[in-house]
Amino acid sequence: MLPSRASVVVAGGGPAGYMAAIAAAEAGATGLLILEATPEPLHKVRISGGGRCNVTHACWDPRALVGHYPRGGQALRGPFSRFATGDTVAWFAEHGLELVEEADGRLFPRSNRSSSVVDTLRRAARMAGVLSVEGQALQAAETLEGGGFRLRLRGGGQLHADRLVLATGSHPSGLRIAEALGHGRVPPVPSLFTLALEPHPLASLAGVVADPVVLELEPPSAAVVAVEGRRRGERHRQRGPLLITHWGFSGPATLRLSAFAARDLRQWGYRAQLRIDWTGGLDPAELEARFRAVRLEQARRQLGTARPWASLGRRLWLHLLEACEVDGGQRWADLGRNQQRDLMTALRDSRYAIKGRGPFGEEFVTAGGIPLGEVNLATMESRRQEGLFLAGEILDVDGVTGGFNFQHCWSSGWLAGQALAGS
């Protein structure tokens, strides 16, 4: 049963909403209610990381942490100085969940199950006296003369709230309510997605991982294009592991590239040219030296069996030989000057046509939401409407893959909770 009044109503039973409610209750606030539109709160937590939940990332310095957010950036220095990765790890430890760091810096629950994170949050909310109601969606909110809000729910129900937290993620309903209460909106666009190729000359290499590579994304043409009101011919660049798939490219480097280029890619209709340096950034002189060394040391061996360096994948090397029309059965001693030039160009400057996003709509976050200038980032309270707080993905903040989006949810939710208790 829903109460007719609550001191604080949190719209959205996701990571930011739960953290805001728990932090407020544990700091002394009472009468907290979470409204979750779906039958299953914390669903994104449960399905994230392949069912393991990448809770955060072992980036301990707030000055370095902000570099992993294509939108938000330096504005997050203040919030992260109050609650960042170390605080998240400590918070979960205090609530009975140990996080374990993997080799790449990602932090997962020791159980390796996202259900452990969900159970921890739900148990903490219950013990703090937070009421969570599922299957109740906030449809509209209006301010009252004496302060507070009248909330209209899906199905016609109503209740009054002294304060309101919008933690509805990128769902249009939350953005619509925020707009009705005086906020602007940066139009959301997909972020963190794979890239599709057409044609796909590497389709036979699906499953191959190349690490590291350098990716550079360019506009559909070399002409300077208009992007977000600016005239520029910008190239987005990332370095790291690349996964070749049946439809194109995935892997950490691709996802980071799509995140930082999210708005440009939308502007270009998800059509662009991708340049790949398969060497990971070797300069021409160093690459030529490697070719010279292998010609001397492996002169009698065939090109197809002796790669220029050991970490260069065999299937990828054979593909590049074929693309350059170089016989893999030829000996290194017999490699011609023009053939070497073509192979070095293919290794440092292969180009592919991007023709859209991956086929599964797998983007996990969006770029866009409530502009950060409209929010007091020390408290997450709206600058446009007293008593309104905003946390999580509803804000114009998004991070790259690796636990950074969850970290923003924990940080903004905790700050909102502290402010709610203090007020």
Q: Which of 268, 355, 344 lies closest to 312, judged by CA?
A: 344
pLDDT of residue 294: 92
Confidence of residue 240 (pLDDT cuts 50, 70, 90): very high
Please say if the pLDDT value at position 15 is more than 50.
Answer: yes
* Backbone phi and psi for residue 213, each to the nearest 5 degrees, phi listed first: -125, 165
Residue 155 pLDDT grade (very low, low, confident, very high; cuts 50, 70, 90): confident
Q: What is the pLDDT of residue 361?
A: 52
Lowest mean pLDDT among 60-64, 91-95, 235-239: 235-239
Answer yes or no: is pLDDT of 225 > 50.
no
Residues of the chain with pLDDT > 70, as a percent, come to 96
pTM for the complete prediction?
Answer: 0.87
What does the alpha-carbon distance between residue 278 and residue 346 come to, in Å, rounded to a whole number?
Answer: 8
| Predicted pLDDT at 364 | 63
**At residue 408, does pLDDT exceed 70?**
yes
Mean pLDDT, residues 174-192: 94
Exposure letters 130-165 (e unless 16+ CB within 10 A, then b): bbbbeebbbbbbebeeeebbebbbeeeeebebbbbb
> Residue 401: pLDDT above 50?
yes
336-356: string of b/e by CB count within 10 Å (b at 16+)? eeebbebbbebbbebebbbbb
Mean pLDDT, the chain, rounded, equals: 92
Mean pLDDT of the region 49-57:
94
Q: What is the pLDDT of residue 234?
A: 53
Each residue's pLDDT tens digit, 319-353: 999 999 999 999 999 999 999 999 999 999 999 99
What pLDDT sits at residue 412?
Answer: 98
The b/e string for 176-188 (b: 16+ C-beta within 10 A; e otherwise) is ebbeebebebbeb
Look at residue 233 in the predicted model and tell me its pLDDT: 44
**Averaged over 128-142, what is the pLDDT?**
95
Q: Looking at 114-123, 185-194, 226-235, 318-327, which range is the least confident one?
A: 226-235
* pLDDT average, residue stretch 42-47: 93
- The arithmetic mean of pLDDT across residues 148-161, rounded, is 93
* CA separation, residue 100 to residues 104, 106, 266, 421 (Å): 11, 8, 36, 31
- As a whole number, mean pLDDT of residues 84-113 equals 97
Domain extent listing, the chain:
5-190+364-422, 193-363
Question: If residue 422 lies in a helix (H) or strand (E), which one and from where to where?
Answer: helix 404-422
CATH superfamily of 5-190+364-422: FAD/NAD(P)-binding domain (3.50.50.60)
Q: What span, in angstroms and rounded, lies between the C-alpha atoms of 360 and 353? A: 19
pLDDT bin (cut points 50, 70, 90) of residue 310 is confident
Pseudo-torsion of CA 330, 334, 338, 340, nearest 10°? 70
Q: What is the mean pLDDT of residues 149-161?
A: 93
CA distance 410 to 22: 11
In terms of average pLDDT, the best of 46-50, 219-223, 268-272, 413-417 is 413-417
pLDDT at 4 over 70: yes
